[in-house]
Chain A
Amino acid sequence: EAGVTQFPSHSVIEKGQTVTLRCDPISGHDNLYWYRRVMGKEIKFLLHFVKESKQDESGMPNNRFLAERTGGTYSTLKVQPAELEDSGVYFCASSPLPRTGGIEQYFGPGTRLTVT
């Protein structure tokens, strides 16, 4: 079974540009999460989808970040316009609904975003 995949693995953009990150969860997982790790800090929650609905977006830093999950499958996270402080590693994780599985969130390898 394929794990969570993320694309691209690494992105270098200039301040003010737009970047779109993509996450493909494990097939059948209704929960999809985005997390971010800024250098020197802990991994922090950004938002949570259940199928195509945003369940919790309390961790989104500001309105420059837009996440979508059309059709309840893959998700995209767009940063527009990017700022220097957006640099970090963006992780996506997925999990089945609690009634069908355990508590584990399965993480992708992350997208390393560098804003110069």
Chain B
Amino acid sequence: QKEVEQDPGPLSVPEGAIVSLNCTYSNSAFQYFMWYRQYSRKGPELLMYTYSSGNKEDGRFTAQVDKSSKYISLFIRDSQPSDSATYLCAMSLNSGNTPLVFGKGTRLSVIA
């Protein structure tokens, strides 16, 4: 069983749609849950992170973590063509000095 499972898509939605991206994981010791966004030929860039369970909102983006179900989500409201990218979930045991464990990434296309 992989440590982090993420549906690679691709996912195609019309502009303005609500997008839901999800990951499941197997290691209950993970404490930090991150979403990275990667544009073509670029490196991943941190979008937002959550510590332990709960929700976090940043503009049109909301991250949710349910540790009891080992399930994390990223919601994008009012999606824009500029949101078209690959979204990677990542997790770590501690803050700072620990390696990230990534999902495969979901390729999202927002069609104008």
- A residues contacting B by CB (< 8 A) are 4, 31, 33, 35, 41-45, 48, 50, 55-56, 59, 91, 93, 95, 97-98, 101-110
Contact = CB atoms under 8 A, between A and B. Distances in A.
B45 to A, nearest CB: 7
Contacts of B36: 107
B96 A42 contact: no
Interface in B72-112: 88, 92, 95-97, 99-105
Contacts of B44: 43, 91, 107
Interface residues of B, number: 25
A43 B88 contact: yes
B76 to A, nearest CB: 20
A95 B96 contact: yes
Interface in B28-83: 32, 34, 36, 41-46, 49
Given A42-B103, A95-B97, A103-B96, 18 more contacts: A4-B43, A35-B100, A42-B6, A43-B88, A43-B102, A44-B102, A45-B100, A45-B101, A48-B99, A55-B97, A98-B97, A101-B96, A103-B34, A103-B49, A103-B92, A103-B95, A106-B46, A107-B45
A107 B92 contact: no
Interface of B: 2, 4, 6, 32, 34, 36, 41-46, 49, 88, 92, 95-97, 99-105
Nearest to B43: A107
B28 to A, nearest CB: 19
A97 B4 contact: no
Contacts of A42: 2, 4, 6, 102-105
Contacts of A101: 96
Contacts of B49: 103-104
Nearest to B105: A42
A48 B104 contact: no
